[in-house]
Structure 1
Amino acid sequence: MDESAAIAHVLRRTTFGPFPGQVEALARQGAGGARGATGVIESVLAAAPLVPATPVFDEEAESASDGPVGSWLRAMADPAAGIHEKLVWFWHGHFTSSHDKVDTWDLMWRQHLLLREHALGNFRELAQAVTIDGAMLQWLDGAGSIALAPNENHGRELMELFTLGRGNYTQRDVRAAAVALSGWSVDDHGSVAFDPKSGNQRAVELLGRSVTTVRDAVDVLCDRLECARFIAAKLHHFLVGRVASEQRVTELAAVFTQARLEIRPLVAAILRDPSFVEATYARPRYPVEWVTAALAVCGIGNAATAFETMNTLGQSPFYPPNVAGWPPGNQWIAPGTAVARAALAVNAPALPEIAGAADPVAAVFARASIYDPSPGTRTAARDLAFELRRDPGRAATALLALVITSPEFTLA
């Protein structure tokens, strides 16, 4: 793999790019004081977190450029974004809440800011905070749960999906966790409060340890080796694109445990391992990732177009389908999605640049940051350019549609 292709690979996995011209700029400057993929890995790890503008909470204009989705998409599309922005997205798919059930955008945005605060911080602190977050309490029916008759949904998902994984607890543990998590409420103004009268006041046994409060329960879960393994395996799959071997999970869990569940050392261990750079095109570019990159390649900066396309492809911020989040898998790049993807090329602002290039094929590949096209993709592009050579505008549209629907662009 040449240097440009390696840089593009790192950016596809650790950011929402690469964006036009970004790979060339990083190659020229020797990102992070080193060349190629190694330098870019260190650069994205060191990049400062972005601070999105506070959105307008208009329930009738969720896809507006100044709404919650638009504000987050601008951060995703910022070339200055590093791994932090990608981790905000990862945690949104892990500690899920959806505006389909959560009352207000204000609550959803507060949770978003919470994920931003802890995205590369300490997992224990993140789990403690999100467990009593207003949006999460509404989403998992934790709001209004009382110790004498607790709602078990919150406690079950905290263990199964957020900390331990399936099979690492019993129904008795679910009941104990539910009791410890009881007593919290969210009022009409979005304020979260604990009521000692309805909350738990007695010790219960959770996974062999005595707990009374939310903090006690989350500490017990985070202290389990199963938690370190579960989070390490899930982050590895997300960043590398492949299921980690048992040995690799053990190694990463040890890193995570020794770091006292600090997320940054775990992420760094995943990215710095040779397996990360070697695993090219190993997973789909999920719709939010693909749309953000494709809009930049096409020169489109319209939040409504982004939101509409993401919805068509089945994924949009703040609307996970269920508490398990968005599933991994190749269903995201099913052939039936190609038409919706290709539609972005029609009348795209970038077409004149491609049509006016001395070599439109080279220009469109460069704009899409594809430096290692397969022989099949390269031949298809050359054939299209030749067939439509007398109509540069039409050729540019066809080439752009071909490239953004190619395996090299729809995979990460």
Structure 2
Amino acid sequence: MDKNNLWSIRLGFSSKQSPLIAKMGLEQFLEASIKSEFSPKIPDFLKDSPKSLQELRAKRQTLQKSSTDETKEMLKKELQISFEMKAWWIEKMRSEEFPLREKMTCFWHNHFVSTYQKVKVNHWIFQHNQLLRENAFGNFKTLTKQVLQTNAMVRYLDNVDNKRDKINENLSRELLELFTLGIGNYSEEDIKNGAKGLAGLNLGEDKAIYRKLLENNDPITYFGKNGKFKVEEMVNIIFEQKAVPYLLTRKILQWFIYDNPPETLVTYYGDYFRKVNFEVQPLLAKIFIEEFSKDTAGSKIKDPLVFIMQLMHELNATQMNPKLIAFFLKQQGMDLFNQPNVKGWNGGKEWLTSQIYLQRNNVADLLCDGRSWNRRIQFSNEMMTENGAPLKVRVNWNKNGNHQSIIADLTNRLLFKTDDNLQKEWETILKYDFNPKAENADYAVLRLFNAMVKTPEFQII
């Protein structure tokens, strides 16, 4: 696979940015990606969704007074808004000129997990998502403090039930196990005392706040230090621990390049991460620039998002309805805003089970034919696009090429490696007497494309 294509997929979701990387060079491309702006505007689909505790309480009162059918209808509407938010985010991912910010937002989304299914307030989930986007390239310690003080997180990890006289350890435990240090780098006493420090951190109007009647003000011992520590002081203490950089550098390497990163790299980049005071921007620049020079193709299984985005880009399916993409991601186990648990999507081999691989091949068949893939809910061709027009697909190829040059070009764009058997298979599909001027030439190349994207090799970058 062409190196620029490979890194376009890794730093985004398809090979769409490959020409930019080739033209600008990786360093300038990264600079432009980090400078990319985003809109702080609240999307229109959230206008009727509760945005404050007062609005939320009013809605709950309305639900209590409503009939069963009315209650179901209101809850259904909020589910529809959640689905609109998935489509909104997918559209951002595929439309950005420099998609690395969205790729990092998705990384943080799977690190600081908070799901709509548990939180059940769309605006809080949106706030959480925007916070991750705004701080995508910022400081890890600062972001950790901010995330812990979102309404979404205190609701998701049950800190609303963590009170002075009734301690709940969920948020305290995941702060250490999944967000910062990793298993084996803290004690059960740290979890228990951390929960006391987080007691009373509860829902607020714009963000989580401590409630005086619920908080615990007794001194605690946290990682060997004694005092009356609250959330920000606790995070400061955590980030003094030796193990803190390595959990994140391992996850970043896994997200972008290696399903199983070498421990030497985890340590090497982790040490640098500590040196730059947990600033994400220089860490990413160092990782990407240094790993770009290596031959790392074939080290990672594509997640469902990258799979479908690359397929759409290569098929020029720019009008495809993002809601259908959201549905496909859910089928593949990568439901946005609804990870299976606080650990998030595990990735790696879990993205290539026999069922997921079969689904991907079925989607490739149907999408190449401009049809939908859902068996339970039959979408019409018109529902494949947002404007109601039938989906049309085409593969870009050299109309002046012969069968071998066309096969070579597609192979270079799509696959990180091939062998003699695959070459013979491609030449069986696109024969030596292929006529690029023939009426069915586009269809013949589409058949070749479809065969290539159904190989195991296409599932790997």
- TM-score (norm: length of structure 2): 0.77
Residue 217 of structure 1, CA deviation: 1.1
1:228 aligns to 2:260 (yes or no) = no
Q: Which amino acid aligns with 2:303?
A: Y
Alignment equivalent of 2:13, drawn from 11, 16, 22: 16
Q: Which amino acid is 1:43 matched to?
A: F
Alpha-carbon contact 1:173-1:205 (below 8 Å) kept = yes
The one-letter code of the counterpart of 2:334 is Q
Residue equivalent to 2:374: none
Distance 1:330 1:125 in 2: 32
Q: Secondary structure at the match of 2:226?
A: strand
Worse-matched range after superposition: 151-160 or 373-382: 373-382
The amino acid of 2:335's aligned partner reads S
Distance in 2, matches of 1:355 and 1:85, equals 29
Give the equivalent residue in structure 2 for 1:340.
359
Q: Describe the superposition over 1:361-397 as per-residue Cα deviations: whole angstroms up to 9, x where unpaired.
A: 7289559933755134443333223499795565344
**Equivalent position of 1:381 in the other structure:** 426
- In the alignment, what sits opposite 1:401? 450
Query: Could you say what secondary structure the match of 1:311 adopts?
Result: helix
State the one-letter code of the partner of 1:279. Answer: T
The aligned residue for residue 54 of structure 1 is 42
2:381 corresponds to which residue?
A: none
Q: Please say if residues 183 and 198 of structure 1, whose CA atoms lie closer than 8 Å, have aligned partners that are also in contact.
A: yes
User: CA separation in 2, counterparts of 1:241 and 1:383?
Assistant: 34
Residue aligned with 1:217, SS: helix
- Asked if the contact 1:133–1:192 (Cα under 8 Å) also holds between the matched residues in 2, the reply is yes
One-letter amino acid matched to 2:413: S
CA distances 1:63-109 after superposition (whole Å, capped 9, x unpaired):
76xx2112211221135124322211111111101111112111111
Letter paired with 1:399: L
SS of match in other structure, 1:59:
helix
Greater mean alpha carbon deviation, residues 240-249 or residues 89-98: 240-249
Q: Which residue of 1 aligns with 2:308?
A: 291
Listed one character per residue, the Cα deviations across residues 210-265 of structure 1 (whole Å, up to 9, x for unaligned) are: 35201111111122121112212222222221534443333222211111111111
The amino acid of 2:369's aligned partner reads V
Cα displacement string for residues 262-305 of structure 1 (whole angstroms, at most 9, x for unaligned residues): 11111122112247742112111111222222222223321122
Question: Structure 1 residues 70 and 43 mapped into 2: Cα distance closer, same or farther (>3 Å)?
Answer: same
- Conservation of the 8 A alpha-carbon contact between 1:6 and 1:277: no
Which of structures 1 and 2 has the bigger CA Rg?
2
1:163 aligns with 2:180: yes
Distance 1:356 1:309, change over 3 A: farther
Partner of 1:43: 29
What is the alpha-carbon distance in structure 1 between the residues aligned to residue 207 and residue 281 of structure 2?
A: 31
Residue identity matched to 1:379: K
Residue type of the partner of 2:458?
A: F
Q: What is the match of residue 197 of structure 1? A: 213
**Residue 86 of structure 1 aligns with which residue?**
103
Q: Secondary structure at the match of 2:119?
A: coil
For residues 156 and 46 of structure 1, the distance between their equivalents in structure 2, rounded to whole angstroms, comes to 37
- The residue that corresponds to 1:206 in the other structure is 222
Alignment map for 1:1-12 (pairs within 5 Å): 5-12=2-9
- The equivalent residue for 1:307 is 326
Equivalent AA in structure 2 for residue 153 of structure 1: N
Q: Which moved more, 1:298-307 or 1:111-120?
A: 298-307
Name the SS for the 1:100 alignment partner. helix
Contact 2:87 2:322 in 1 (8 A): yes
Distance 2:338 2:402 in 1: 38
1:103 pairs with 2:89: no
1:342-361 aligned at under 5 Å gives the runs 342=364, 343-347=366-370, 349=391, 351-352=393-394, 357=399
Query: What letter is aligned with 1:46?
Result: A
Superposition misfits of 4+ residues, deviation over 4 angstroms: 352-361, 363-368, 387-394
Label 1:331 to 1:162 Cα distance change in 2 as closer, same or farther (>3 A).
Answer: same
* Matched residue SS, 1:230: helix
For 2:447, the aligned partner's letter is A
In 1: Cα distance, 2:278 partner to 2:126 partner: 25
- Number of residue pairs matched? 395
One-letter code of the match for 2:138? G
Q: 1: CA distance between counterparts of 2:115 and 2:234?
A: 24
TM-score by length of 1: 0.86
Q: Contact 2:407 / 2:426 at 8 angstroms: preserved in 1?
A: no
Percent of residue pairs bearing the same amino acid type: 22
Which residue is 1:140 aligned to? 157
SS in 1 for 2:160: coil
What's the counterpart of residue 150 of structure 1?
167
Q: Residue 283 of structure 2 corresponds to which residue in structure 1?
A: 266
Shift of 1:147: 2.3
How far apart, in 1, do the equivalents of 2:458 and 2:96 lie? 18
Per the alignment, do residues 205 and 333 of structure 1 end up closer, same or farther by CA in structure 2, a change over 3 Å counting? same
> Would the alpha carbon gap of residues 73 and 276 (structure 1) be closer, same or farther in structure 2, given more than 3 Å must change?
farther
State the alpha-carbon separation in 1 of the partners of residues 350 and 261 from structure 2. Answer: 21
Seen in structure 2, the aligned counterparts of structure 1 residues 111 and 352 have a Cα distance that, compared at 3 Å, is closer
- Any unmatched runs of 5+ in structure 2? 47-76, 372-390
Q: Which deviates further from its counterpart, 298-307 or 218-227?
A: 298-307
Q: By how many angstroms is 1:403 displaced? A: 2.9
- Give the deviation of 1:41 after TM superposition: 4.6
Q: Residue 430 of structure 2 aligns to a residue in which SS?
A: helix
User: What's the Cα RMSD here?
Assistant: 2.9
